[in-house]
Amino acid sequence: MVNGRLKVRFWGTRGSIAKPGPTTARYGGNTSCIEVRSSRGTLVVIDCGTGSHGLGQALVAEGTTRGCLLISHTHWDHIQGLPFFAPLFDHTNEWDICGPKGLSGSLRETLAGQMESTYFPVALESLGATIRYWDLLQGSFQVDDIHVSTHHLNHPALTLAYRLEADGASIVYACDHEVYSHAAADGNVRLDGPDLRHAEFAAGADLLIHDAHLVPAELPTEASFGHAAADYAVELGHRAGARQVALFHHRPDRTDDALDGIVARFSASPVSVLGARDQLELAL
Ligand SMILES: [Zn+2]
Ligand SMILES: [Zn+2]
């Protein structure tokens, strides 16, 4: 990785369910997981989908013992890698796990639910690492030299967007999210009210990683599932003055060729647009 800059590596970019195979070989089939590092070495991991398995192995191999995991929400595709995240099994490691409180319990209780014996052989309380759990609300806090802000998203679960700032750069992760005003869903209407607040949260981001699960033709049947069209993500990035938009949370049935086609539609956009793919690394 390049020194002196805020760095991002995508380990999982798929939405809903992991989808390995020939149709997803280039963008990848793993669900949400992103590694962020400051130049001082502070590690923040955003979401713990199946992509976190590879990240966990890399962290163990390099001897990283500390980190902070930010969970956007507790839908499966964002937490399913947690029971397989190797750093949590080592008693010499220390992790903070932060996320919005579930509707029926704390973050810790919700994460423990997917590790009950019916589903998994190791209980959450048996994880070897020292783990502190934090129920988050809208606000801000510090992870060493990385400043973290949170903002509620529009999704059928309590869901937070994260804004990370360090080394003079900023990353905004906003996934899973559905536009508040459906009139703006295809990116063609002026943003107002809570949609404007959403854009303000992403203001001036060097990298906006945004839900782009849908294309406008899918909105009539899939609106209300809590996801956004790529066109809205790009328009939002433009209005927010973001430097770059990474389309993220690709539908499991979205092929590599289809994703190429979506990204190509924005080649003349005033904001730089890329399709997030597993193992892509950016220095901001
Ligand atoms: Zn999701
Ligand atoms: Zn979700």
Q: What is the mean pLDDT of residues 98-126?
A: 93
Burial of 3 (0-12, 13-18, 19+ CB in 10 A): exposed
The tokens for 122 are 């190791």
* pLDDT at residue number 1: 43
Dist. CA 72 → ligand 1 center (Å): 9
The tokens for 219 are 């909105």
| Other beta carbons within 10 Å of 227 | 25
What is the per-residue pLDDT across 167-208, written as a single tens digit (0 to 9) for each?
999 999 999 999 998 887 777 767 889 999 999 999 999 999
Dist. CA 31 → ligand 1 center (Å): 8
| Other beta carbons within 10 Å of 107 | 22
Dist. CA 131 → ligand 2 center (Å): 24
Residues 39, 160: Cα–Cα separation, whole Å: 25
Residue 182 Ramachandran class (φ > 0 left, ψ -120 to 50 alpha, else beta): alpha
Ligand nearest to the CA of 78: 1
Dist. CA 211 → ligand 1 center (Å): 9
Dist. CA 155 → ligand 1 center (Å): 10
Is the pLDDT assigned to residue 102 strictly greater than 80? no
Ligand nearest to the CA of 211: 1
**146: nearest Cα among 203, 70, 214:** 70
Q: How confident is the model at residue 2 (pLDDT cuts 50, 70, 90)?
A: very low
* pLDDT at residue number 184: 76
Residues 50, 32: Cα–Cα separation, whole Å: 7
Residues 95, 64: Cα–Cα separation, whole Å: 11
Whether 240 contacts 207, CB under 8 Å? no
Residues 72, 68: Cα–Cα separation, whole Å: 13
Dist. CA 12 → ligand 2 center (Å): 14
Q: What is the mean pLDDT of residues 254-270?
A: 97
Whether 78 contacts 71, CB under 8 Å? yes
* pLDDT at residue number 3: 55
Dist. CA 170 → ligand 1 center (Å): 22
What's the mean pLDDT when you consider all of the chain?
A: 95
Ligand nearest to the CA of 248: 1
- Report CA 32 to chain centroid distance, whole Å: 6
Whether 34 contacts 45, CB under 8 Å? yes
The residues with which 106 forms a beta bridge, in sequence order, are: none
Dist. CA 49 → ligand 1 center (Å): 9
* pLDDT at residue number 104: 81
Is the pLDDT assigned to residue 59 strictly greater than 50? yes
Dist. CA 51 → ligand 2 center (Å): 16
Q: Side chain identity at 220, as an amino acid letter?
A: P
Is the pLDDT assigned to residue 266 strictly greater than 90? yes
Dist. CA 159 → ligand 1 center (Å): 10
What pTM, to 2 d.p., does this model score? 0.96
